[in-house]
A and B are shown apart, each in its own frame.
Chain A
Amino acid sequence: MSPSKVTGKEFRTNLARFRSFTSRPIFRLLLLFCLFGPAPVALAQFRFPAPEFESEYTFPDTTVPSHQSVRQQYLDVGLLLVVLSLASYFVLANRSRKGLWVLMVFSLLYFGFYREGCVCAIGSIQNVALSLFDSSYAVPFTVLMFFLLPLIFALFTGRVYCASVCPLGAIQDLVVLKPIKLPAKLSQVLHMIPYAYFGTAVLLAATGSGFIICRYDPFIGFFRLNGNAPYLYLGAVFLLVGVFIARPYCRFFCPYGVLLGWMSRFSKWHLSITPKGCIQCRLCEDSCPFDYIHKPNVGQVRERREIGVRRLSYLFVALPLMVLLGGYAGSRVATPLAAVNAKVYLAERVLLEQQDPNLESTLETRTFRAMGTSEPELMEQAVTLRSQFKLGGWLLGGFLGLVFAVKLIGISVVRRRTDYLVDKNACFSCGRCFEYCPNDEQHLVNRMEV
């Protein structure tokens, strides 16, 4: 059979079909998946086995890398201060999204790729928590500054750290291509996750059980161009999702965002959509890809006052009960949570292996036995840690109960809004809304020039 000849018309039809297909969202999604999907495999660690043959070669002495130079540390802190100051300037005085974007790219390159994502303010929560509960641990100066400076700036100028400094935020911000608006119910639920993550991270750090924020940092593998495949995949998923749901880690996971939000809520100066008075033009209504713009509520039907007062009274009565319920649940979950601690895990495993001799010993239990540490000593340490987790569980649960109660009260208190305002607690101060405001003369001039 001879190959059929494609006519010019057929070819054009096929080409049109192909173009039509490639312009569909599903094709773009597939393309993105193809791009982000294999990347983690490519970046995943691959180690060469240690040489096993005997030779006359004398191995050099093991060397320990020298401490990070003090100059480098001061440079990091200095740059952080400069970038925060510049970001504040771009947000409040210059109202320049472009300036913020350039700053963001710089931060991504310096704090992300060059400094390999460490030290970062998000992880510094754990150092501070550990130092508060372990007198033998002192927070390094750099870490303390990375913890404090963004919070201090947030107290005065809002979350400018999120806008232009955080490399985790920057890498996500760059991939925001087709942001969609999440259903508000889902968004509300997801916004509770950072509190739980924050509390858990503090508890684990305070008990010396580990720094989970760093361990599960989804982007560190990208910054270091190396890492374990599961974490790289996690990062790739965040970036892929981030194409459509803008900055998902920042909005729904970031534990540092909890602290920044508390500070930013009371910020003296904060980004505003309009530099002058709002003229209710509604142009900015959908400008925020994160959905952090509150609409005015003038003209909306209000709840009857007595219903609102009654509800608030119930909620205030329920507040201590919710704290207690949360505390109780937290104390009960302390047992499984404590297994995250290496010592508790080891003790559990040693006991498990004793109970079931068919269980194969793990590297940890073999090492423990080889080291000759006494078992009662291990058990004693594990029991002490468990009691710390019990107390910590009460505190963590109580904290979450309080957060939920305050959130419910906050929803029930209606504030009158006459203008379009940003959510001061959550707004990243990215400045995307600037150019939507017709009252912003600077942007208007720019647009006219264009």
Chain B
Amino acid sequence: MRVVERKVETSSVLYRVTRGIGVAAAILSLLVCILIIANNLRVKSLDPIHLPALERLIKELEKNPEDQALREEIQELDLLARKAFFSSQQFNNTGIWLILISLSVMLIAFKTLSKIHQEVPYPEGRDPSDAMIKEAGWRRWAVGGTGLVLVGFALFLALTTRSELDMKMAVVDAPATEPVPTAEAEPAAASFPSREELFKNWPGFRGVDGNGLAPDAQAPLEWDGKEGTNIVWKVAVPKPGFGSPVIWGDRVFLSGGDDSAREVYCFNRANGEMLWRKEVKLADSPAEPPSVAADTGHAAASPATNGSLFFAIFSTGDLVAYDFEGNLAWGRNLGVPKNHYGHSSSLILFENLLLVEFDHAESGRFLGLDAATGKTVWETTRDMGLTWSSPLVVNTGNRMEAILSANPLVVSYDPKTGKELWRLECLGGEVAPSPAFGDGLVYVASDYVKLAAIDVNTAKITWDHDGDIPGVSSPLVVNGLIFYGLSDGGMLCRDAKTGEELWFEDTDYGFYASPVLVGDRIYLMDREGTMHIFTASREFKSLGKPVLGEEAVCTPAFIDGHIYYRGIENLYRIGT
């Protein structure tokens, strides 16, 4: 369409005045905008609540809290700062109104000008005769194309979005995985130590059953690691590790490791002399160890022993068995676990089987290995999240069960076959405490989520608590009571049947080590190296607080009236 040019009287007074008003209003609003921005920047940089002068006066007042004049001076200065701030706010508010008014004036002026300039239509020419067909054609393409783009965008979004919730739902809904009997090995002829033999020694993490119970043992109440009081011997451990010592006969075993090497150690129980030290290097060990957190390290899992062999597992997935003379009996790499902290589930023995909880970010497994040969007897896939807890084998009265707690499931297996017996979704987060068992209830915990008591016969929660949950330390169940230490300090006792809190004892430091019942006393080491000794009773009664003299995160071993303890740097034999 052509338009007819209309002669516009641009020299008329009305036109020029309107244009002038419009431009002036535009300039005014622009200026006010700039002033407000400058004002905002100034106030923001001023930070009236943190004026250096004010802060200096406040510090002075802290030293002389009774100085009334100083107090008044602070109040006056504070008031001034606030007045300045609110004055600037008032300036802003006025400015905003000015902007609004000037923009309105500008719009009216410009609209008037555009009205004066309005073009008079003078149509000429017509659309081509096939315009309608062509228009409909490309409109169809536009609509169809937009629809396809939308579908494509939706599918792209769906394919590129990773949902943790979906993965969790998949784990919960996944059917129980049947164990895979392997042809590698037939269960070896029953050849394993008796219960009596086991109780004379300390075969693994938290003692014989991994339940932290040593009712027949004894231990001293007083020592001082720094002064050497009641310290029989103390030896430096070459490489760091957080696994507890295991003891059989006259031998004390440990594992340790860092980025350069992973090692196992054997000490003479009588005098602390290192009998042998072996670097673990298998044919299929990874060339470089995985990256792990410093407070977990490469040797966080406690080793185990059955009296003829000593077993250890590392962050590299290397699982080894040495005889008591330091000869490698067998070794295999289970695959480098994807575990950002580092693998820390301890080994546990059940009859002639070595049970290995090998949960990691991808395809976790629970394995039953022939302890003598290392060959897989059974293997069960565990499609759930990472975990740092250890398995617990218990006799429920009806059967033996290996109970593993993870995120989000607690699962029970037949330790002989690896067949799943029951599962319950109740945990979340990072599951580090190992389960504890007593009177038909298994107790599981994960920090920030819950502490729950599960009836093993019904696989249902009897009680649970959302607050005051152990983060790393495992609970101890004894005499119908449950005891545990909190990661950020404090010890708790609850009624094991009802979950009712019976007492809470505050401590200066938190707990990574787990409590152990020795006779009728409970020993619980805090992270600063103070052993909290108290009675296993419904009321808190402290029996002593001896100190080690170095940081401590491991759970101790108790034999023959002595305590074997691994500090951050040294291994101790404590007693008289």
Which residues of A pack against B, CB within 8 Å? 31, 34-35, 38-39, 41-44, 46, 48-49, 51-53, 55, 174-175, 177-178, 184-185, 188-189, 192, 196, 225, 281-287, 295, 297, 299-303, 322, 325-326, 329-330, 332-333, 335-336, 339, 344, 347-348, 350-352, 354-358, 369, 372-376, 379, 382-383, 386, 397, 400-401, 404, 407-408, 411-412, 414, 436
Residue in A49, A284, A329 whose beta carbon sits within 8 Å of that of B150 in the complex = A329
Question: Would A333 and B99 count as touching, CB distance under 8 A?
Answer: no
Residue in B130, B142, B340 whose beta carbon sits within 8 Å of that of A300 in the complex = B130
User: Is B123 among interface residues, defined by CB-CB distance under 8 A?
Assistant: yes
A287–B466 alpha-carbon span in the complex (Å): 69
Residue in B135, B140, B341, B425 whose beta carbon sits within 8 Å of that of A184 in the complex = B135
Q: B164's closest neighbor in chain A, by CB?
A: A351
Question: Would A357 and B340 count as touching, CB distance under 8 A?
Answer: yes
User: 10 A-B Cβ contacts within 8 A?
Assistant: A48-B82, A185-B141, A225-B93, A347-B165, A348-B164, A369-B448, A400-B147, A400-B150, A407-B143, A414-B136
Take A34-B30, A335-B158, A374-B450 as given contacts and tell me if A41 and B165 are in contact as well, using a CB distance cutoff of 8 Å: no
B92-120 residues at the A interface, CB under 8 angstroms: 92-93, 95-97, 99-100, 103, 106-107, 110-111, 114
User: Is B169 among interface residues, defined by CB-CB distance under 8 A?
Assistant: yes
Take A38-B33, A300-B130 as given contacts and tell me if A436 and B49 are in contact as well, using a CB distance cutoff of 8 Å: no
A411–B145 alpha-carbon span in the complex (Å): 14
CB distance from B388 to the nearest CB of A (A): 11
CB distance from B262 to the nearest CB of A (A): 23
A403–B133 alpha-carbon span in the complex (Å): 22
List 11 extra interface pairs beyond A300-B132, A348-B164, A411-B139, CB under 8 A.
A35-B30, A46-B92, A48-B89, A185-B142, A188-B143, A285-B121, A335-B158, A351-B167, A379-B428, A386-B165, A436-B121
Question: Would B155 and A42 count as touching, CB distance under 8 A?
Answer: no
**CB-CB nearest 8 A-B residue pairs:** A351-B164, A332-B158, A282-B123, A38-B33, A42-B36, A375-B428, A333-B154, A329-B154
Take A301-B133, A379-B168 as given contacts and tell me if A189 and B146 are in contact as well, using a CB distance cutoff of 8 Å: yes
User: Is B400 among interface residues, defined by CB-CB distance under 8 A?
Assistant: no
Question: Would B130 and A51 count as touching, CB distance under 8 A?
Answer: no
Q: B41's closest neighbor in chain A, by CB?
A: A41
A375–B385 alpha-carbon span in the complex (Å): 15
What A residues does B471 contact at CB under 8 A?
Answer: none
CB distance from A443 to the nearest CB of B (A): 14
Q: Using a Cβ cutoff of 8 Å, how many contacts connect chains A and B? A: 208
What A residues does B386 contact at CB under 8 A?
Answer: 355
Question: Would A356 and B340 count as touching, CB distance under 8 A?
Answer: yes
Q: Which residue among A44, A53, A397, A414 has the maximum number of chain B CB atoms within 10 Å of its CB?
A: A53
Take A42-B92, A178-B114 as given contacts and tell me if A352 and B143 are in contact as well, using a CB distance cutoff of 8 Å: no
Question: Would B121 and A42 count as touching, CB distance under 8 A?
Answer: no
Query: Main SS of the interface on chain A?
Result: helix
Question: Would B33 and A408 count as touching, CB distance under 8 A?
Answer: no
Question: Would B110 and A177 count as touching, CB distance under 8 A?
Answer: yes
CB distance from A36 to the nearest CB of B (A): 9
Take A376-B426, A408-B143 as given contacts and tell me if A336 and B466 are in contact as well, using a CB distance cutoff of 8 Å: no
What A residues does B157 contact at CB under 8 A?
Answer: 332-333, 336
CB distance from B84 to the nearest CB of A (A): 11
Q: B168's closest neighbor in chain A, by CB?
A: A351
What A residues does B158 contact at CB under 8 A?
Answer: 332-333, 335-336
User: Is B26 among interface residues, defined by CB-CB distance under 8 A?
Assistant: yes
User: Is B194 among interface residues, defined by CB-CB distance under 8 A?
Assistant: no
Q: Which residue among A297, A336, A436 has the maximum number of chain B CB atoms within 10 Å of its CB?
A: A336
User: Is B129 among interface residues, defined by CB-CB distance under 8 A?
Assistant: yes
Residue in B37, B123, B132, B430 whose beta carbon sits within 8 Å of that of A297 in the complex = B132
What B residues does A336 contact at CB under 8 A?
Answer: 157-158, 161
User: Is B144 among interface residues, defined by CB-CB distance under 8 A?
Assistant: yes
Residue in B121, B136, B450 whose beta carbon sits within 8 Å of that of A412 in the complex = B136
User: Is B429 among interface residues, defined by CB-CB distance under 8 A?
Assistant: yes
Question: Would A414 and B163 count as touching, CB distance under 8 A?
Answer: no
What B residues does A286 contact at CB under 8 A?
Answer: 1, 121
B20-45 residues at the A interface, CB under 8 angstroms: 26, 29-30, 32-34, 36-37, 40, 43-44
Residue in B89, B140, B167 whose beta carbon sits within 8 Å of that of A411 in the complex = B140
Residue in A330, A348, A383, A408 whose beta carbon sits within 8 Å of that of B154 in the complex = A330
Residue in B97, B165, B448 whose beta carbon sits within 8 Å of that of A382 in the complex = B165
User: Is B407 among interface residues, defined by CB-CB distance under 8 A?
Assistant: yes
Q: A190's closest neighbor in chain B, by CB?
A: B146
